[in-house]
Structure 1
Amino acid sequence: MPKLSKIRLVYLAVLYVTAFCAFPAAALQAPTQIQLAKVYEQDKTTPVSDYLVSEKYDGIRAIWTGKQLLTRQGNLISAPEWFTAPLPDVWLDGELWAKRQNFEALSSIVRTQTPKDNRWRQVKYMVFDMPDAQMPFEERYKNYSSLIEQINAEHIKPVKQQRFHSNHELSKHLQAMVENGAEGLMLHLATAPHQSGRSDALLKLKPYFDDEAEVIAHLPGKGKYTGMLGALRVRNQQGIEFSIGTGFTDAERANPPPVGSIITYKYHGYTNNGVPRFASFLRIREELEDE
């Protein structure tokens, strides 16, 4: 990291004080204060132009408390000292990310208790918020963008936000992003202050829905899957029981998620009985995983 000039250091100090005097990093509790996303619905009464839109990174949620890098459950992430050294004494929210369609490899890097420098060199901290309970997101976006520009560290990046004026524009952008390997989009209400929990201030938009379910049984395979997993019998958070028989690799069929584990699955709407339609296995839910 290059040395900062005295002018830049003064600038940073002023930025910290003005932006965070009412919401210091030390006072925040990451597991209870983080903002979670609802699913975007096109028939919402709030116009899409009221939101700032960014890529939804398929990485690992990471909250910088000003001192430590934590998961959204509040557990310590064992990052190398050089990785966190440039980060300021303010609360940041972001995603640990390497590249698109690379979650499993990234998870392996981040889960390692003794971090390996050569592997962490692949990881970037994509910052998408600089939380403040009074300040609207549009101002927070300007703040975190300016701050990260001043930090000037190659592995710390500000997440770009942009506006769209119609659902048609938004859909075209989503399609283009997904075709290039992106997971989806995030929508931040520009006028909303930071608030914990789920609200319409933060929305996610994907080409499919996803959710979690508990594995309650293994159903045996037939034909080429004889002696292997045929399908998982699961119960979702709404108490609906159903089977998931697609999305597995042969290795996952030979060693399926254990009964009692939590999995993430994707689906495309619901049947009339409330069962997820075309449910397909994505992965076992990991503690480090983002939602």
Structure 2
Amino acid sequence: MLAALGLLAFGGAEAAAPNNTPALMLANVYRPSIDLGAYWLSEKYDGVRGFWDGRRLLTRGGTEIQAPAWFTQDWPDEPMDGELWAGRGRFEETVSTVRQQTPDDAAWRRIRFMVFDLPAHAGVFNERFQAYRLLVQGMGQPWVMAVPQERVASHEALGHRLDQMVRSGGEGLMLHRGDSLYRAVRSDDLLKVKTHEDAEAQVLGAVPGQGKYAGAMGALLVQSPDGRRFRIGSGFSDALRKQPPQVGTWVTYRYRGLHDSGLPRFATFLRIRSDADLSAPVKTQPTGLR
């Protein structure tokens, strides 16, 4: 079917996600209309989401992360939600380290587990925030850090804070509603504040390139979670054009608003999702482009 559409299929569909996928709190996008006084502000770390279930360190897709034994030694039974992070501008390094089945001890020495919530705690975030700070403090491990939280006075101040963060090499900011319980849904209890919009889509195939991209990928044909199909044609390195993401892989892309049809405007590839190896296979092949 892909060949009939002039698409290149690189590799097969990925294996289905494990059934131990953690139930995580997910973020909506910030809007100036929210009651900013109800929220705590923190940095949005550009790393790999990590979930400690009390026994294992998992990606958000449910795959067990093969960290060195010392990294999680003496961690508590209390589940912790956080980000595995090597520092600003080191996303690719973080992903490379976390994905290795045989852990590179030296690389893991540069990884920090930035704890930002306690999923099993029954209290609201105002209480969970204090609880995870005390928990991390009691662990006494320098590679496990409690994410700082602060208040912001106004939407204008939030904009200045975002500008400062981006200039410093950060990805963006997070807003966490103080009176919210930990709920494994996407809601306004958690908001991401960024200078651009991004979203995720699943790879259906690769469109052959022309001209300077002859013999390589020209664009990716992808499908959004709601079933809309479109192409992503820019943002790729030469290496990715020669070896595109496999069918079934989830990718993150940037865009500038939506067309009237609901499709993203100026979709640009950002990266393969950090837990792309966990992506569910494509259930149906495309019959054409919308």
TM bracket, shorter-chain basis? 0.7 to 0.9
State whether structure 2 residue 146 is matched by structure 1 residue 158.
yes
* Unmatched tracts of structure 1, length 5 or more: 1-28
**Aligned match for 2:48, one of 44, 47, 60:** 60
- Cα distance between partner residues in 2 of 1:223 and 1:213: 26
Note the C-alpha offset of 1:224.
2.1
Kept in 1: contact 2:79–2:119 (CA 8 A): yes
- Cα distance between partner residues in 1 of 2:28 and 2:269: 21
1:1-291 aligned within 5 A: 31-44=21-34, 47-132=35-120, 134-287=122-275
Paired residue type of 1:38: N
Paired residue type of 2:187: S
Structure 1 counterpart SS, 2:114: strand
Q: Which has the higher helix share?
A: 1
Aligned residues: 260
Paired residue type of 2:24: I
Paired residue type of 1:43: S
Moved more, 128-137 or 181-190: 128-137
**Structure 2 CA distance for partners of 1:184 and 1:137, relative to 1, 3 Å:** same
Paired residue type of 1:67: R
* Unmatched tracts of structure 2, length 5 or more: 1-18, 279-290
Structure 2 counterpart SS, 1:49: helix
Kept in 2: contact 1:59–1:289 (CA 8 A): no
**Structure 2 CA distance for partners of 1:58 and 1:107, relative to 1, 3 Å:** same
Structure 2 counterpart SS, 1:218: strand
Structure 1 counterpart SS, 2:82: strand
The one of the two structures with greater contact order (alpha-carbon pairs below 8 A, sep at least 6) is 2
Structure 2 counterpart SS, 1:107: helix
Note the C-alpha offset of 1:133.
5.0
- Cα distance between partner residues in 2 of 1:259 and 1:287: 14
Paired residue type of 2:23: Q
Query: Which string of whole-angstrom CA distances, capped at 9 and with x for unpartnered residues, describes residues 107-166 of structure 1?
Result: 111111222221110111100012345311111111111222232211011101111121
Paired residue type of 1:127: V
Note the C-alpha offset of 1:289.
8.8
**Structure 2 CA distance for partners of 1:144 and 1:30, relative to 1, 3 Å:** farther
**Structure 2 CA distance for partners of 1:276 and 1:111, relative to 1, 3 Å:** same
Moved more, 137-146 or 234-243: 234-243
**Structure 2 CA distance for partners of 1:261 and 1:134, relative to 1, 3 Å:** closer
Structure 2 counterpart SS, 1:33: coil
- Give the root-mean-square deviation of aligned CA atoms: 2.1
- Cα distance between partner residues in 1 of 2:27 and 2:71: 27
Taking only the aligned residue pairs, the percentage that are identical comes to 45
Note the C-alpha offset of 1:71.
1.8
- Cα distance between partner residues in 2 of 1:261 and 1:76: 18
- Where does structure 1 differ by over 4 angstroms across 4 or more consecutive aligned residues? none
- Cα distance between partner residues in 1 of 2:129 and 2:277: 24
Note the C-alpha offset of 1:281.
0.6
Structure 2 counterpart SS, 1:168: helix
Q: TM-score, normalised by structure 2?
A: 0.83
- Cα distance between partner residues in 1 of 2:142 and 2:91: 21
Structure 2 counterpart SS, 1:200: strand
Q: TM-score, normalised by structure 1?
A: 0.82
